[in-house]
């Protein structure tokens, strides 16, 4: 994967306004232009422009060879993508939502994540699979769950969860460069979110969490759509003299222990916020790691704020009530510091 990197210029960056959706669209464009082995495949990604309109316009620009509509079979889509990778291509596989990806779980777990091991290190699977996740758009109990925590359970794959436009724009290329399977979880509620980002893409680190807001009183660990909510809560808490450090995990597997532990060792109090169900959640794993490694640094038990353990409701107010919100996040932090 030695590719031209001339378009990454060292000059001071000009900032442009971009949506989360446009971030991924540009990333796909740039990847296809950069690497001739690269193409997008999935259900309705071509003529229709993608069910969340992420690939809108790309079919006209690149044609059916590069933007490939697939039959509506998640298992087949993932399987073909994996096969293409093993034969030298670099497909970007799109699955509509994480709920549908369960139909492709066999391919993801039994093939993509296991092949390097089963072939004695001979065949790696550099596939990239993107899918939408999370609630917030009234898509009901079959389209709105956050199951990335389940995937983060699987050894052999890397899990990315962009929570900013810049990450959305920048994470795809390093994911394609990774020799092993990478899953990218895009927050469907954030596709319209806009942010100022550098006009040309910057080299992106996908191995570390980021401190999005430094603070000294409490560590708030989160990712994805709970990141902007947590930032909002942190600003509100700052008015009350509660200084919250917000960590964006960015990569859910492997977890960046160093950033998490460094922050907890400083604040001694932790709240983990995520949209997954609480029992057996990613938050549970992070909590366990903190307890295993930093027990003598904790001034309070680690606290978690997760989704209500129910199928995602359709009604707007109930959907909102089921997942963490800035107010509930702020309330949980207040309880931790009182």
Partner 1 sequence: MSEFKMPSLGADMDAGTLVEWKRKSGDPVKRGDIIAAVETAKGVIEIECFEDGILDEIFFQAGQDVPVGQVLATISSEAEFRQKASTPKVAESVKAPEAAVAEPAKPAAQVVQEAMKAAIAQPSATPATSDRVKISPLARRVAEDLGVDLATVQGTGPGGSIQRSDIERAAQAKKAAPPEPVKAPEPVAARPQEVAPTAPPVERAAPPPVEAKAEPVPEVKKPTDFQSAMRAAIAAAMGKSNREIPHYYMETSIDMTKALAWLEEENAKRTIRDRLLPVVVLLKAVAKSLAEVPELNGFWIDGQHQVSESINIGFAINLRQGGLITPAIHDVDMKSMDELRDAVNDLITRTRSNKLRSSELTDATIVVTSLGDRGVEKVFGVIYPPQVALVGLGKITEQPWAENGTLSVRKVLTATLAGDHRATDGHKGGLFLEALNRNLQEVEKL
Segment interacting with partner 1 (CB under 8 A) among 120-128, 175-183, 197-205, 292-300 = 292-300
Q: What distance in Å separates the CA atoms of residue 247 and residue 240, rounded to the nearest whole number?
A: 20
Residue 122 vs 296, nearer CB to partner 1: 296
* Closest separation in Å from C-beta 264 to partner 1: 10
Residue 9 vs 291, nearer CB to partner 1: 291
Of 64, 299, 309, 311, which lies in the binding site for partner 1, with binding defined by CB under 8 A? 299
User: Is residue 143 flagged as an active site residue?
Assistant: yes
* Closest separation in Å from C-beta 330 to partner 1: 15
Q: What distance in Å separates the CA atoms of residue 198 and residue 37, rounded to the nearest whole number?
A: 26
User: Is residue 74 flagged as an active site residue?
Assistant: yes
The kind and range of the H/E element at 146 are: none
Greatest C-alpha distance within the chain: 59
Residues with Cβ within 8 Å of 162's Cβ and at least 6 positions away in sequence, in order, are 20, 23, 168, 171, 184, 185, 186, 187, 224, 250
Q: Is the peptide bond before 146 cis (omega within 30 degrees of 0)?
A: no
- Exactly one of 22, 74, 166, 274 is catalytic; name it: 74
Measure the CA angle with vertex 147, ends 320 and 143; round to 5°. 60
Of 124, 300, 308, 331, which lies in the binding site for partner 1, with binding defined by CB under 8 A? 300
Q: Is 288 in the site for partner 1 (CB under 8 A)?
A: no
* Closest separation in Å from C-beta 219 to partner 1: 13
Residue 56 vs 300, nearer CB to partner 1: 300
DSSP for 1-45, please give it: -----TTS--SPPPEEEEEHHHHHHHHHHHHHHH-TTEEEEETTS
Tell me which residues in 59-98 interact with partner 1 (CB under 8 A).
none
Of 268, 278, 289, 334, which lies in the binding site for partner 1, with binding defined by CB under 8 A? 268
Measure the CA angle with vertex 175, ends 60 and 90; round to 5°. 55
Tell me which residues in 304-333 interact with partner 1 (CB under 8 A).
317-318, 321
The site for partner 1, by CB under 8 A, has a size of 10
- Exactly one of 22, 30, 94, 143 is catalytic; name it: 143
Segment interacting with partner 1 (CB under 8 A) among 77-85, 104-112, 177-185, 291-299 = 291-299
Residue 153 vs 268, nearer CB to partner 1: 268
> Around Cβ 64, how many Cβ atoms within 10 Å?
11
What does each C-alpha distance from 29 to 61, 97, 172, 188, 324 come to in angstroms?
A: 9, 21, 11, 20, 34
Residues with Cβ within 8 Å of 118's Cβ and at least 6 positions away in sequence, in order, are none
| Residues taking part in catalysis | 74, 143
Chain contacts with partner 1 (rule: CB under 8 A): 268, 295-300, 317-318, 321
């Amino acid at each position: 994967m030695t590719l031209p990197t001339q378009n990454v210029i060292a000059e001071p960056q000009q900032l442009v306004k971009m949506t989360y959706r446009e971030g991924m669209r540009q990333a796909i464009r740039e990847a296809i232009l950069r690497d001739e082995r690269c193409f997008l495949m999935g259900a309705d990604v071509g003529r229709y422009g993608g069910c969340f309109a992420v690939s809108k316009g790309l079919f006209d620009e690149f044609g059916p060879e590069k933007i490939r509509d697939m039959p509506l079979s998640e298992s087949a889509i993932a399987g073909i993508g994996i096969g293409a990778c093993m034969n030298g291509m670099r497909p970007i596989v799109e699955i509509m939502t994480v709920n549908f990806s369960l139909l492709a779980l066999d391919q993801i777990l039994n093939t993509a994540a296991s092949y390097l091991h089963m072939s004695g290190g001979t065949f790696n699977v550099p596939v990239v699979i993107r899918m939408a996740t999370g609630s917030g758009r009234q898509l009901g109990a079959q389209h709105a769950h956050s199951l990335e925590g389940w995937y983060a359970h699987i050894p052999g794959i890397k899990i990315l969860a962009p929570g900013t436009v810049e990450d959305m724009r920048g994470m795809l290329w390093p994911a394609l460069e990774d020799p092993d399977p990478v899953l990218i979880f895009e927050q469907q509620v954030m596709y319209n979110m806009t942010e100022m980002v550098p006009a040309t893409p910057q080299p992106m680190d996908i191995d570390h969490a980021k401190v999005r807001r430094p603070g000294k009183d409490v560590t708030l660990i989160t990712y994805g759509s709970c990141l902007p909510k947590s930032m909002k809560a942190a600003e509100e808490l700052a008015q009350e003299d509660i200084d919250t450090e917000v960590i964006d995990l960015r990569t859910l597997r492997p977890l960046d222990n160093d950033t998490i532990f460094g922050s907890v060792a400083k604040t001694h109090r932790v709240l983990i916020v995520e949209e997954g169900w609480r029992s057996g959640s990613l938050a549970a794993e992070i909590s366990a790691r903190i307890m295993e490694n930093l027990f003598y640094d904790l001034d309070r038990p680690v606290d978690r704020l997760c989704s209500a353990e129910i199928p995602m409701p359709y009604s707007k107010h109930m959907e909102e009530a089921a997942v963490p919100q800035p107010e509930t996040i702020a309330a949980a932090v207040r309880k931790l510091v009182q």
